[in-house]
Structure 1
Amino acid sequence: MSTPDRRDLIADAAISTVATAGLRGLTHRAVDAAAGLPAGSTSYYFRTRSALISACYLRLAELSVADVDRWEADHGRPDLDSAAGALAALLHHWLTAARDRQLARFELSLEATRRPELRADLRTAGLAARSRAAALLAALGAPRPAPAADLLVAWTDGLLYDWLAGAMATSRPLPDETELTPVVRRMLEAALSA
């Protein structure tokens, strides 16, 4: 795997900072420290806090698309069963290894509701997710892939939020792929009939 470029390194450190310290903890200095860079490095690449937050949105979208690309490369043209199993594996990855990314994404999404200048980058990231979901659903035969993708993304976000940050998040174990597969299959079936 190649070494991330400086902008990606900073965005990844900013995402980790948001996941662990929230937006109050997102400062240029904190990101420099988290990335192991000299003081002033983050502000050189991202002059304002808004620019740093925008970098987070775009990097989160890029990483999520890369996750989906790996999933597609591993599974080829899907049928409903393989799509359910593969999407369950992807969700499990997002709930475990990529947990911090999801927590940061939720935090950053809420910030965009309060700061209109951040909405465009959040929208760009959201459109990327919906585009990929629409392509999957079209391959599975959805008669209306775009509205079906909106539903699938919303259900996926709801599931991720509930398991990572919802009221019961700290009092129950995370589901494994076997437990997630039938849930995802029902989500896919519902989206395909929408």
Structure 2
Amino acid sequence: MSLPDRRDLIADAAISTVATAGLRGLTHRAVDAAAGLPAGSTSYYFRTRSALISACYLRLAELSVADVDRWEAEHGRPDPDSAAEALAALLHHWLTVERDRQIARFELSLEATRRPELRADLQTAGLAARSRAAALLAALGAPDPAAAADLLVAWTDGLLYDRLAGAMAATRPVPDASELTPVVRRMLTAVLSP
């Protein structure tokens, strides 16, 4: 396994560990076990817990951007009407198939509010998502793509958090893509307006 592949494997195992055991369960030993690697492997690549958390931030951003890129490759650059359906499908994917990844992302993000040394990598990860969103919104005709991307990312994070970890998350079923589409359509209309 090459060096980048091993780092991705470890970051993915760390993300999974956080999703199932929380940050208290994030240890080098636990990640070694989750990744199926010999003891000491995680600490070889990521010497400190902070380095491991930073790797999670960057990997989470990479995976989210890859999801958007895959969606775009499958659907092409949509018009504003079809974009609502496509984004709703992506949100549904994140609420179901990638549920654990999103939960880990929220928990890991909160850690940076208490540990200043983590903020730079969290910000780098956030900028990657916003940059990708801005490019898509520019293609859809947003008058200020950067501002529209900030709004869209914040709205998306709010919806994901509410449905996965919010006060009512345990009592409400995950909406399907057809239920999410009109909500997404309203948000896209708002961010694409001059």
Deviation, 1:4, is 7.7
Q: Per the alignment, in what secondary structure is the counterpart of residue 4 of structure 2?
A: coil
How far the C-alpha of 1:3 sits from its partner, in A, is 12
Q: 2 CA distance for matches of 1:174 and 1:60?
A: 22
Query: Residue by residue, what CA displacement relative to the aligned partner does 1:89-138 show, whole Å, maximum 9, x if unpaired?
Result: 11011001111110011001100011010001100110011111111111
Whether contact under 8 Å (1:17, 1:26) holds in the other structure is yes
CA distance in 2, matches of 1:127, 1:162: 22
Give ranges in structure 1 of 5+ residues lacking alignment.
Answer: none
Distance of aligned partners of 1:90 and 1:4 in 2 relative to their CA distance in 1, 3 Å threshold: farther
TM-score by length of 2: 0.97
Counterparts of 1:4 and 1:70, CA distance in 2? 21
For residues 173 and 3 of structure 1, what CA distance do their matches in structure 2 show?
Answer: 40
Distance 1:54 1:76 in 2: 32
List structure 1 runs of 4+ shifted beyond 6 angstroms. 1-4
Indicate yes or no: 2:83 matched with 1:94.
Answer: no
Count of residue correspondences: 194
1:160, distance to aligned residue in structure 2 (A): 0.1
TM-score scaled by length of structure 1: 0.97
- CA distance change for structure 1 residues 89 and 129 in 2, over 3 Å: closer, same or farther? same
Q: For 1:1-194, what aligned pairs fall within 5 Å after superposition?
A: 5-193=5-193
| 5+ long unaligned stretches in structure 2 | none
Percent identity over the alignment is: 90
Aligned residues of 1:75 and 1:82 also touching (Cα < 8 A) = no
After TM superposition, give the deviation of residue 2 of structure 1 in Å.
Answer: 12
Alpha carbon RMSD of aligned pairs, Å? 1.8
Alpha-carbon displacement from aligned partner over 1:20-44 (angstroms, at most 9, x marks no partner): 1111100000001111111111001
Q: Cα distance, 1:193 vs. partner? A: 1.6
- Measured in 2, the distance between the counterparts of 1:31 and 1:142 equals 42
- In structure 2, what is the Cα distance between the partners aligned to 1:52 and 1:101? 16
The CA distance in 2 between the partners of 1:3 and 1:182, in whole Å, is 44
1:130/1:149 contact within 8 Å kept? yes
CA–CA distance in structure 2, aligned partners of residues 3 and 169 of structure 1:
39
- Once the two structures are superposed, what CA deviation does each residue of 1:40-92 show, in whole Å capped at 9, x if it has no partner? 11001101000000110010001001000000001112101211111111101
Change in 2 beyond 3 A, CA 1:50/1:3: closer
